[in-house]
Amino acid sequence: MSHPLTGIIVAMQEELEVILQSLVKERTVQRAGMEFHVGHYADRPVVAVICGVGKVNAALCTQILISEFHVQRLINIGVAGGLGPMIQPGDIVIADSLVQHDMDLSPLGLPKGQLYRLEVFDFKTDPHLLELATQASAQIPQHKHFVGRIVTGDQFVANPTQAQQLYQHFDALACEMESASIAQVCYLNQIPFICIRSISDNANTGAHMDFAEFTPIAVANASTLLQNMIPLCDSVPHVV
């Protein structure tokens, strides 16, 4: 049985290292300063890559995966800062929609987060992948999982006031620096995608205080979820 090719994007080396421990690598391809690791993960064909931090890096990486490697679905995993007061370090947030919180064209009469001349405000994740990610997260009982909006910006949010504003304005559960740009590229290319973030800190309490301590836990949780989820993806129709 042949399986669709899955692209896996992470932002940091710490996140990739855990994946590489279980990746049967066939080759590594270098493009635009990034290393694309082609092989099998949980016996399924994947291309895993560090995109780097920030929206431009993430968008560039996503388009390379789609245009050159012809991935048929895309999974973005990694760490994020919690925004919702109920979310604790180690918990998992699975995005059902994504918004770029630092996009501000309000002088043109557009709501904050709205991209210019784009018919959608937020980017919805694939419903089937969302369901499977939720199933996989249930196999990590030591931490809670949440489904909701994740917001993205080229900022490390460590200010509790800013975190509270993002939570209230966008009804967002987490913030980070890549996922919404990945979502935008997938939306434009009509590629199914899901973004899964394990909480390394809660920005409402001061992100700089928690990030170093909880990042290894968050990375391990995200990797476990991925291992649980990849075999479930076989039933997702692949895009030609």
R_g over Cα of the chain: 17
Q: In angstroms, how far is CA 161 from the centroid of its own chain?
A: 24
Contact predicate 27/68, CB 8 Å: no
CB 4 within 8 A of CB 236: yes
Q: Identify whether 15 is a catalytic site residue.
A: yes
Q: How many CB atoms lie within 10 A of CB 211?
A: 18
Rounded-to-integer distance, Cα 122 and Cα 130, Å: 16
* Active-site entry in 96, 122, 178, 201: 201
201 as an active site residue: the answer is yes
Of the candidates 14, 15, 26, 178, the residue annotated as catalytic is 15
Which residue has tokens 């199914």?
A: 192
Residues annotated as catalytic (active site), given as ranges = 15, 201
